[in-house]
Amino acid sequence: MKEHSDPFEVLAGVDPLDHDAVDGARSSVRAQATLDRILAKPTRTGGRSRRGRLYALAAVAAAIPAAGAAWALTNEPTHRLEIGCYAANSLDAKTVVVDAGDASPVAACRAAWSRGELGGPAPRRLEACVLPSGAIGVFPETCRQLKLTPVGRASAHAPPSNGSPTALKRSLVGTYLSRRCLGRRAGIAAARAAIRANGLTDWRVHVTTPFTPLRSCTSFAFDEVRHLVLLVPMPPRH
Amino acid sequence: MRFRRLYKANYGPILSYALRRCGDVAEAHDIAADTFLVLWRRFAEAPVDEDVPLWLYGVARRIVANKYRSRLRADRLVGRLGHVLPKLSSTEERAEQREAANAVLRSLQRLKDDERELLLLAAWERLPASEIAIVLGCSPNAAAIRLHRARKRLADVYEKELSRRGHD
């Protein structure tokens, strides 16, 4: 009789997770926008001891100035690869995440409005604000109404320059698309060359998981917080 | 700020958990968002940092269970793990391995929800029984026994599945 493999081991081997999607998504604007939305909500309504309630209020009270102070010092965002376009002047409004691409944040969101993605004609005024998470959000009115800091004028209206994380991303996406399969070594070399070419000296290359015969090709993801280009092993593209 | 740190450290694992269970990136983000909202609202009761990931898995598990309860009733035959199958069929694995994988997934769909979740926490999230115990809110001993039984159940159903396919 034929010996069958242990089904639990088979199950462990068919993990459906798309590591590429997760590595890109966890530092995405969507994740940042979610954090901003959560921080804007009250911590708890009822059902806890007075001591606990006071503790939570103190935590919120401490958190707001802390978040404010961080961004009051600088009006430059820390996440530039993607932009959150908000349909209304609220952190809870419908949000469309767009790639920063070659356009300024305001122009990128105006394009999303004109494609109808935010459900109406583009408002006359759009303003790019630094969200508490450090990402860029573009709102139909003013940042001040949301107690947010406007993105520095140069960053809000100018396209990304060479030497920015956006240019690094653009360059590596181009490399990725130009080849059916970029091996591990070639992927590391391409990432290092792109980092050097863009003068981002504090960026590093990190391989997320081991390359295998089935996942022998490089895909790139970007972690703007830790300044990492992530090499994600993937099957060859078809 | 502690919440911000916990969010950044755990968003990836919780998103991965949700993505493995539902197979849709947008939906997985929603599940992760709901999970962290629960953490924020109950922050004063949150466990110490080392246990937060397991606590979050427990919250995400309940959110996924509630979200899919109605859909499972309507779509039981397809099963919520159906999203795995197309992915497998597109790989270059040999036909035999693919058939074994399909049989395991079909067998998994025939287990009880609790058994299935135990096995997935062990196989995909790679949690040992002691950590599964925290996610499920039971003792480490109970988790180890339940995991052992679930593995045995899976093996039994899998054998039947393979012999049934052999007769088709």
Q: Which of B12, B91, B108 sits opposite A11 (nearest CB)?
A: B108
Three-state SS for A22? helix
Nearest to B12 by CA among A172, A151, A108, A25: A25
Q: Identify all chain A residues contacting B37, using CB atoms and an 8 Å cutoff.
A: 38, 41
Q: Tell if the CB–CB gap between A4 and B159 is shorter than 8 Å.
A: yes
Location of structure tokens 């593209």: A237
Cβ-Cβ contacts under 8 Å between A and B: the total is: 125
For this complex, say whether ipTM is above 0.90.
no
Which alpha helices (H) appear in chain B, and where do they start and end? 2-22, 25-41, 52-74, 84-89, 95-109, 113-123, 129-136, 140-167
Residues B56, B30: Cα–Cα separation, whole Å = 14
Q: Determine which helix (DSSP H) or strand (DSSP E) holds A28, and give its type and residue range.
A: none
The string of pLDDT tens digits covering residues B86-137 is 455 555 556 677 778 888 888 888 888 889 999 999 999 999 999 999 898 8
In the structure encoding, which two tokens stand for residue A196, read together?
Answer: 């050097």
Which range among A48-57, A130-139, B139-148 shows the weakest confidence by mean pLDDT? A48-57
Whole-number average pLDDT of chain A: 73
- Asked whether A218 and B1 are in contact (CB, 8 A), the reply is no
Q: Identify all chain B residues contacting A6, using CB atoms and an 8 Å cutoff.
A: 155
Three-state SS for B52? helix
Whole-number average pLDDT of chain B: 81
Q: Which of A6, A10, A55 sits opposite B44 (nearest CB)?
A: A55
Location of structure tokens 């009822």: A46
Three-state SS for A56? helix
Residues B55, B44: Cα–Cα separation, whole Å = 13
Q: What angle do CA A145, A150, A61 make, to 5 degrees?
A: 60
Q: Which of B36, B93, B108 sits opposite A34 (nearest CB)?
A: B36
Residues B49, A214: Cα–Cα separation, whole Å = 36
pTM metric for this prediction: 0.56
Which residue did the predictor score with more confidence, A235 or B119? Answer: B119
The string of pLDDT tens digits covering residues A79-114 is 677 788 888 888 878 778 787 766 788 998 998 899
Q: In what order do the strands lie in the sheet with A95-99?
A: A95-99, A82-86, A136-139, A127-130, A149-150
Q: What is the pLDDT of residue A71?
A: 33
Residues B97, A66: Cα–Cα separation, whole Å = 54
* Bridge partners for A58 per DSSP: none
Q: Tell if the CB–CB gap between A26 and B12 is shorter than 8 Å.
A: yes
Residues A174, A228: Cα–Cα separation, whole Å = 18
Q: Tell if the CB–CB gap between B7 and A225 is shorter than 8 Å.
A: no
Residues A142, A94: Cα–Cα separation, whole Å = 17
Q: Cα A50 to chain center, whole Å?
A: 38
Choose the mutation target among A20, A32, A38, A232 for the interface with B, i.e. most B CBs under 10 Å: A38
Which residue in chain B has the smallest CA separation from A133? B4
- Stretch A197-220: mean pLDDT, rounded? 84
Location of structure tokens 């242990």: A6
Q: Tell if the CB–CB gap between B155 and A8 is shorter than 8 Å.
A: yes
Q: Tell if the CB–CB gap between B123 and A67 is shorter than 8 Å.
A: no
- Asked whether A44 and B42 are in contact (CB, 8 A), the reply is yes
Location of structure tokens 């287990």: B111
In the structure encoding, which two tokens stand for residue A193, read together?
Answer: 């060359």
Which residue in chain A has the smallest CA separation from B43? A43
The string of pLDDT tens digits covering residues B48-63 is 888 899 999 999 999 9
Q: Identify all chain B residues contacting A35, using CB atoms and an 8 Å cutoff.
A: 4, 7, 36
Q: What is the pLDDT of residue A76?
A: 65
Band (A165; pLDDT cuts 50, 70, 90): confident
* Res. B78: pLDDT tops 60: no
Report the DSSP pairing between strands A82-86 and A136-139. parallel
The alpha-carbon gap from A13 to the nearest alpha carbon of chain B, in Å, equals 8
Choose the mutation target among B43, B119, B120 for the interface with A, i.e. most A CBs under 10 Å: B43
- Stretch B24-31: mean pLDDT, rounded? 84
Residues B80, B25: Cα–Cα separation, whole Å = 14
